[in-house]
Amino acid sequence: MDTYRIAGLDSVLTPALAIYPEVVDANIAATLGLLGGDPNRWRPHVKTSKLAFIMRRLVAHGVTSFKCATTLELRTVCEVGAGDVLVAYPVVGANARRVRELARLYPDRRISALVENAPQVEAWRGGGVGLFIDVNPGMDRTGVEQERAGEIVRLARAIGDAGIEFRGLHYYDGHVGKLGLAERERVTHEGYARLLEIVAALERSGAPPAEVITAGTPAFPGTLSYEAFARAPFLHRASPGTIVYGDCTSLAQLPGEFGYRPAALVVSAVVSHPTAGRVTCDAGHKSVSADAGVPTCAVLGHPDWRPQAPSEEHLPIEIPPDAARPAVGDYLYLVPRHVCPTVNNFDDALLVAGGRILGVERVTARGHEAPIAVGR
């Protein structure tokens, strides 16, 4: 708890997003250690980090390949020095044209997009954007089902026939997150065996993938333990992004020996004592995201306190009968259950080290670009 306590909060408007750069650096170093010290094996998704300040720290650690989901994230990560960025979202229409425009604005960046069918390929013809094929590992959100290897081979050929660089395969297996660690590893390894069958089919067709991307945060342990990736003829990259900040979910999903700690908290003030055994703080779902369900967070230093269903600005918390109730005006430090959309709720973040506020940084890639060109 002492690592996170902040002096001088009386001058801070709450709820406030607090980011601890020293903990961020430790989480980055832990990830690189798990990847054998090779930053080229990591393609983190910047939907979590959001701040240009934090993206620059990743680049400073040697990480230069990234994933993103929006054109604002793409623009931001290009501006901070990324060398290779995959838009890991099926952009269409004006969004696809904006990606092409950004590729022209940043010609020294290697920008790629995802496709899952031949008609999508035409949108990228002549645009200087490489293409990954999105493979559906069973999450059933996007991509070509992994059982349809022949279709994936035909799609790779269509990319080549259109004169576009076929970069490789994107395989996001985030659906395994609800499984226990041992079962998660078994399921991910079964999926990777099928993925390598797709790779073999592509190799036989004369269109071998140069890169294969797997594993957000939940599947990261399974990716690390899948030995075939280490001797594969392609570049394999893992793409967890949540681990930069950590949250209740990722810290529960990953082995404790990985060494991750929460690096982004929401600082909230107690505003009411509505009943005995309950306090309310100012961290409703407009600050701490409720997309992952209730409880939306944990109260740092108080594992037996139980956050209840939030409203827009209020978060009631049940406190054990024998616990000392915090006074109105006291501060609570909340670890989000899902940190990515929580960071996206804030315009600015406090930077904290040694118990002191070092400054304030914009959450640069929050939200989206203007829907039309005015103001961009």
Structural domain of 286: 9-16+259-362
- Output the six-digit token pair for 308: 């209840």
Mean pLDDT across the chain: 97
Residue 183 lies inside a defined structural domain of this protein: yes
Q: pLDDT, tens digit, for every residue of 139-163?
A: 999 999 999 999 999 999 999 999 9
Q: Are 78 and 192 in a shared domain? A: yes
pLDDT higher than threshold 80 for residue 376: no
Residue with tokens 């069918």: 117
Q: Are 236 and 345 in a shared domain? A: no
Q: Are 129 and 208 in a shared domain? A: yes
**Other CB atoms within 10 A of residue 187 CB:** 18
Domains: count for the chain = 2
Q: pLDDT, tens digit, for every residue of 206-237?
A: 999 999 999 999 999 999 999 999 999 999 99
**Other CB atoms within 10 A of residue 122 CB:** 12
| pLDDT of the residue at 372 | 87
Residue 2 lies inside a defined structural domain of this protein: no
Q: Are 235 and 268 in a shared domain? A: no
- pTM of the entire structure? 0.97
What is the domain-level CATH number for residue 80? 3.20.20.10
Three-class secondary structure of residue 283 per DSSP: coil
**Other CB atoms within 10 A of residue 246 CB:** 23
| pLDDT of the residue at 293 | 97
Q: Are 296 and 332 in a shared domain? A: yes
Q: Are 233 and 269 in a shared domain? A: no
What is the domain-level CATH number for residue 304? 2.40.37.20
Q: Are 266 and 239 in a shared domain? A: no
Q: Are 143 and 228 in a shared domain? A: yes
